[in-house]
Structure 1
Amino acid sequence: MDNIKLAPLILIFVEVAKKKSFTAAAKKLGLSKSAVSQQIKRLEEATRQQLLIRNTRGLVLTSVGKALLARSELLSQQLSLTLTELSSAKAQPSGSFKVAVPPFFEKGFVVPALRQLCLEFPLLTPEIVVSGTWLDLIEHNLDAAIFGGHIEDSNYRALSIGKVSEIFCASRRYIQEQGELTKIENLS
């Protein structure tokens, strides 16, 4: 017997046996009732065993059919699990992730955020580019950029992530020597 050719027939058999109905199995598999019936007939011919007894009330598994179902359900479950894992791996972001940030911004804000991102998506490889000037995303092959100030006319989507306020402080000695500052322009 050719195992590769029998595998799909066994998977169809599992559905028929679990549903105890050709019609319900056909609906679940997206096949016609006659196609499912033909596949079961092919499986019975290949194994030279009767697997199902068809009657007016539905169908009943033979002892060989029960044994085949017990062994084959695990195959069906493993295949479903494998396909689910493949789909989720495909949906998970992977590869390099390159982001530009201003100086002094990377340690306190970006590195912790990227650490969390990598915990959630372990297939990502982050790269940080520290720059005091705006870097064009396409020109520098960046996935994202954090920039202070206004962006020149651009087709990029920009989101504000916060505001930075500047606070100037002076020591008592400076104020005693220079006097109190009321305007930034008076700062020499």
Structure 2
Amino acid sequence: MNPFEDMRLFCQVMESGSFTAAAEQLGLSKQFVSRRLIQLEERLGVRLLNRSTRRLDVTPLGQSYYESALRLLSEVEQVEQGIAGQNSEPRGTIRLSAPLSFAMAHLGSLLPPFLQRHPHVSAEVDLSDRPVDLISEGYDLVLRIGTLEDSTLIARRIASVQRVYCASPDYLAAHGTPLTPEDLALHQCLPYGHSRQVQWRFQTKGKPLTLNVSGRMRVNNGELLRDAAVAGLGITYLPTFIVAQALEQGQLVSVLEDFAPEPLTLSAVYPQHRQSSRPVQALVEYLRESLAGGC
């Protein structure tokens, strides 16, 4: 019994969420995959998965085995690529997670040329604004905007992300233009997220200022907030890659420009065992070059 093949089978089941989906991905029968994992559990003397008629639940030991298996399989892949003389040409599949709005604005135009440049690389892309766990969920690379938590993960700066406070001309004509951050207390704001206390950050006289803002509409999607601002529902605060076209067309007008804080940072985050992955490093360098002017 090849332990590395068992690891690959188990990782595929974890990533697919079921024996049936994993078997389809691998071109095997469901019964074969299920039997191999039962034999794996018997050999290890532990239960890796709790099975029911509706779903599979990973046990704590199964989660630990999965994370270790990912690292080992990555190392084996890198060794094989090195022996085969493939280090000069990236090859393999990149599992990438990226924020939805950023991906819609940029990745649609960036990923096809990258894949054309590297014909032996494939990409599986998941678009989500939620904070994914790239280790347990099996991602090779995650793009994140904003401050990163300290961790054992590796983060590389890709680009700056400018944000702007803006509202429609009709809203400003009806309610007035705020001249200072404190004026926002008299306005309807359109904050991002679902928290009852949303804070917007400003720079005033060289010092940071944080204010609580509220409004009739809170959304965890930038495009909906942009459209609400265009419709005249209030003032919003969004990255320029979401509102640039509306600003150019005059549907939105920027406000409080003198109080804008420092730009956010777009970072590429990946686990330590992917540090020497040629496909991951190639994509990171490509994004750094393509977005050098900011986004």
For Structure 1 versus Structure 2, the TM-score category normalised by the shorter chain is 0.3 to 0.5
Return the structure number with greater helix share: 1
Return the structure number with greater strand share: 2
Q: Which has the larger radius of gyration?
A: 1
Higher relative contact order, chain-length normalized (CA < 8 Å, sep 6+): 2
TM-score of the two chains, using structure 1 as the length reference: 0.47
